[in-house]
Amino acid sequence: MVIQVFKYIFGFILAIAILIGGGFAMALYFMNRVSAPPPKPIYANDQPLVETQAPKPKSQTPKTNQASLEESSSTPDAQKTPKQTPKPEESPEALPPRAYKARVTWKQGLRLRKEPTPDAERVGGAAFNQKVIVLEESSDNDWQKIRLENSDQEGWVKSGNVAKIDEQDDTQTTDDTEQQ
């Protein structure tokens, strides 16, 4: 009889231990799932950047034809060449070594910081789709030092919030705005 009581108590304690252990394991599992950082979101404005670059040459052709129809007395090729030629000549002189032109891709814009830390003092901002010049990257590649184009304002921003632009795309965009 004593053995049966012992078996009953031992079984009861074992059942409680299994329930507590299972609950603890389940709590750890859910805490790890909840605390894991989510994957980087893809916003609607991320996809159009790729799509808008491809159609530009198609939309460029009609604008060029309109410009040539309006200015039929002079040669449009001679007028286009001076517009496109100064841009590449200005770029190498204005850009420091290893720097490149980029656009802000973060829809809410960016905060410029004095140092490459989230707690650093704010020294300005950059709007969405604004042209910037990436001057350097931090040693851990988490931050980029940028300068606003046509400005002396510089600061650090989180990496991944600007996209490099080609010189050719840059001149086409400039030509589009000049024709309008």
Average pLDDT over the chain, rounded to whole? 74
List, in sequence order, every residue forming a beta bridge with 158; answer none if it has no partner: 143
CA 131 to chain centre: 13
Residue 114 · residue 121 · CB < 8 Å: yes
* Over residues 95-99, mean pLDDT: 78
pTM above 0.85, yes or no: no
* pLDDT value, residue 171: 53
Higher pLDDT, 153 or 52: 153
**Largest separation between any pair of C-alpha atoms in the chain:** 117
Q: Does residue 14 register a pLDDT over 60?
A: yes
Show the tokens assigned to 54.
């491809």
Instruction: Report the chain's terminal Cα–Cα distance, integer Å.
Output: 99
Return the H-helix or E-strand segment holding 112. strand 110-113
* Over residues 113-119, mean pLDDT: 90
Q: Does residue 87 register a pLDDT over 50?
A: no
- C-alpha 15/C-alpha 62 separation (Å) is 79
Q: Does residue 91 register a pLDDT over 50?
A: no
